[in-house]
Structure 1
Amino acid sequence: MQTLTTALAAAPIFPFPARQPALAAREGHAMQAGPEEPSLGSLFRDAALESFDAGQTVFWEGDDAEDVFTVVEGLLRLYRSLPDGRRAITGFACAGEIVGIAFTRRYPCSAEAVGEIKLRRVSRRSLYNAADVIPSLRPEALATIAKELARAQDQIVLLGRKTADERVASFILAMAERIGQSPREIDLPMSRLDMADYLGLTIETVSRVLTRMQRDGMISFRGRYHLIIERPRGLRELSGGADEERNDDISFACAG
């Protein structure tokens, strides 16, 4: 099977949706050589592991989008800055998730470590080269982009139509799916202010909703950050239900 190193060295540079007839022979050879094809994850495997402290910036909004990242450990905060200094969090990237594959020439948001994080990066040039040479990478890359678009649509509905209670409930359920120790237990490392900036609420409103959910027996806290979902069905009903059930396998990331 053709290795990624060989593929990257041989391929020209252009975005993966394009196809070049000259690559057909190499692709055919790669498919015949073995049953397994490289995945997007294998692109990052040999990349250096980078560590960032809490609050450290990984990339800035408006910078050239030269790299694509995968979060190995921890949580990445994705946000945009408004001219008056306000911040709008557009998403959180969790361990195992890829950030930047759907971006265009410039980063549409900034990325900042919520706590200590580890990540790997590859250049967009390398990703495009590999996706051009190795056919199996294309549907995986397109699926990743499709998930980001679906998350963006869910976020539009959340901000445009949902009440404060529905927004907080939707957030808890989505994060439980992505980073929960179980479907009912989750560590929420982000602050209440982060939650508020993501949900389009004030920090006071987020705190009131969480307190009300605790009082009603829907959730409980063990310490400040460890949340337990006591009544999953009730929380899902409060969230609006339909969109969470439809998109359990996808949640939110940076909507550029």
Structure 2
Amino acid sequence: MSWPPFDNLCLTPPPEAAAPLGPCLHCQVRHLSVCAVLSHEEINALDTAASLQVLAPGAVLARQGEQRRHVFTVTRGALRLVRLSADGRRQVAGFALPGDFVGLSGAAAHQNDIEALGETELCRFGLDAMQRLGEQFPHLRGKLLERACDELDSAHERMMSLARMNPTERMADFLLTLAARQARAGMPGPSLVLPMPRADIADHLGLTVETVSRCLTALRTRGLIALPGTYRVDILDRRGLETLKAA
């Protein structure tokens, strides 16, 4: 199997108003992550606690049920979050793209398997170090809590929305959501990178692989998208997709 061009998920940050101080200020996704709202003093403190971790394609970062010891920011590549039900069924809970914070939870153990889609680079922080930084910088702790609440609200809203959609509408919504995330990351399109195979999309949307393929074909037939490659989708009619999703 050939993998998509994950290097395209390596982003360019906006210019800094002040002179860079440490490696964190060179981070390509700082403008997307919680670090964007931190002071130089807070960034320098994060610098001392951060370490780089690179995952090979398919590598496992954590297993469901393992004790949480670190939190991570994705700086390049992508992760999938997979949960296995009691009867062994696989559900892709979500995907982490550059700028996403992974592992922030009130639970002592990981709630999902976390796996790399292609080569993926992470900025890693130990939980103990993050707790000390939170005590030292209440602003940082508040922003982390705010981000966790935002992600919880977003996940709940998407769950309610997907329950009302048919398969083609789910696919339209998925493509628009991914396009919006990549646009915020400095990749406005119209070419959309899919850092995951069709099987992952199916397990995320509660569909079969065959249904995912049929939905993509249906959207292409309507002239809403083009499919130039296995891991690329060109959005030709964004308004048409939005109208379909809202139907």
Q: TM-score range by the shorter chain?
A: 0.7 to 0.9
1:60-99 correspondence runs (5 A): 60-99=63-102
Could you tell me which residue of structure 1 aligns to residue 107 of structure 2?
104
Structure exhibiting the larger radius of gyration computed from Cα positions: 1
TM-score by length of 2: 0.77
| Helix, strand or coil at the partner of 1:74 | strand
Q: 2 CA distance for matches of 1:117 and 1:194?
A: 17
Q: 1 CA distance for matches of 2:78 and 2:147?
A: 18
Q: 2 CA distance for matches of 1:36 and 1:71?
A: 21
1:19-78 CA distance string (max 9 Å, x none):
xxxxxxxxxxxxxxxx93555796267622211111110000001111111111001000
Could you tell me which residue of structure 1 aligns to residue 188 of structure 2?
182
Higher relative contact order (CA 8 A, sep 6+): 1
Which sections of structure 2, spanning at least 5 residues, go unmatched?
1-37
1:1-256 correspondence runs (5 A): 36=39, 38=41, 43=46, 47-180=50-183, 181-240=187-246
Q: 1 CA distance for matches of 2:44 and 2:94?
A: 21
Could you tell me which residue of structure 2 aligns to residue 3 of structure 1?
none
Give 4+ residue runs of structure 1 displaced > 6 Å after superposition: none
Q: 2 CA distance for matches of 1:224 and 1:151?
A: 28
Shift of 1:151: 2.1
Q: 2 CA distance for matches of 1:205 and 1:41?
A: 48
Q: Contact between 1:69 and 1:120, CA under 8 Å: does it hold in 2?
A: yes
Calculate the aligned-residue CA RMSD, in Å. 2.1
Q: 1 CA distance for matches of 2:43 and 2:150?
A: 15
Number of residue pairs matched by the alignment:
207
Task: State the identity %.
Answer: 35
Q: 2 CA distance for matches of 1:148 and 1:40?
A: 23
TM-score by length of 1: 0.75
1:236-256 CA distance string (max 9 Å, x none):
111228xxxxxxxxxxxxxxx
Q: Could you say which structure has the higher strand fraction?
A: 2
Q: Contact between 2:49 and 2:126, CA under 8 Å: does it hold in 1?
A: no
Q: Label 1:222 to 1:121 Cα distance change in 2 as closer, same or farther (>3 A).
A: same
Q: 2 CA distance for matches of 1:216 and 1:210?
A: 10
Q: 2 CA distance for matches of 1:142 and 1:216?
A: 42
| Helix, strand or coil at the partner of 1:68 | strand
Q: Contact between 2:49 and 2:125, CA under 8 Å: does it hold in 1?
A: no
Shift of 1:155: 2.9
